[in-house]
Each structure stands twice: as C-alpha cells, then as structure tokens.
Amino acid sequence: MSEQAPYDMHMDILCAALTKVDVPRLVRECPSTWWNQTLCEVNDCVVRLGIIEGEFHWHKHDEEDEFFFVLEGQLHIDVENHESVVLGVHEGYTVPRGVVHRTRAPQKVVMLMVEKGSVVPTGDV
C-alpha cells in the first residue's frame, strides 16, 4: 500500500435497495484522507463512494472495468502507455479491465466508482 495515503476501504454494502443514500452526510463525516465505501449493489455491480487526497498505487483489474465519476474536485487518472486524464466535476472515465492505472488527487476529491462487485479495489496480484 501507498505510504502517502493510508487506504480506509469498506466493502460492506452500506445501503440496501429502497434506502436513500445521503452522500453529503458521508462526505461531512469522512474519517480519513483516503476513504472508500460501497454504497449499494445494482445487479452484479456496486457503486462506491471515494473521498481521496494523495496518490494510489499502480494496479490493474484483470476481470473488471472501472468507471470513475467526479462529484467534487479534480481527479487525475494515470494510465500506463497513455496520457494522463484529468476529470473535473461531473466528468467520468472508464478504465478497461487489464489496464494498469492509478488515481491521484492533489486536493480532496469526491467521486463515485461503478464496478463489478467482485473487483478488489487495490488491484489484482
């Protein structure tokens, strides 16, 4: 794991179907600089809330695509053998399965991630 940002990840599903998800409250109560919480399950996918600042390590997901959607801040996504992408508020980006990547947030970013429930957020070994 990264020395710069400790990862505080919660893979448990926070909200069952037919339950309101209060993202502003979760952002206000965020306990760390690199926090990831699974909000809900939709079919065989999950929606996760990420509140991050700093750099994640380089990794990939062999079997799953990963979609990032920025709610607050500016997210940098570095993709191996491609130019980096910078996402602003209300912009999204999909990293295809098998592609080595990392996310960076020079300042606090609030984002949603949509991915298969089987994904390991820290990447496949």
24: in domain: yes
Using a pLDDT cut of 70, give the percent of the chain over it.
94
Predicted confidence at residue 7, as pLDDT, reads 84
124: in domain: no
Tokens 């991630």 sit on residue: 113
Phi (first) and psi of residue 28, to 5 degrees: -60, -40
CATH of the domain at 59: 2.60.120.10
Lowest mean pLDDT among 50-54, 55-59, 106-110, 115-119: 115-119
How far is 72 from 41, CA to CA, in rounded Å?
A: 22
Mind listing the pLDDT tens digit for each residue in 28-71?
Answer: 999 889 999 999 999 999 999 999 999 999 999 999 999 999 99
Predicted confidence at residue 12, as pLDDT, reads 93
What dihedral do alpha carbons 120, 27, 13, 55 form, nearest 10°?
A: 0
- For residue 114, which of 54, 44, 45, 60 has the smallest C-alpha distance? 45
- Domains in the chain: how many in total? 1
Indicate yes or no: pTM above 0.75. Answer: yes
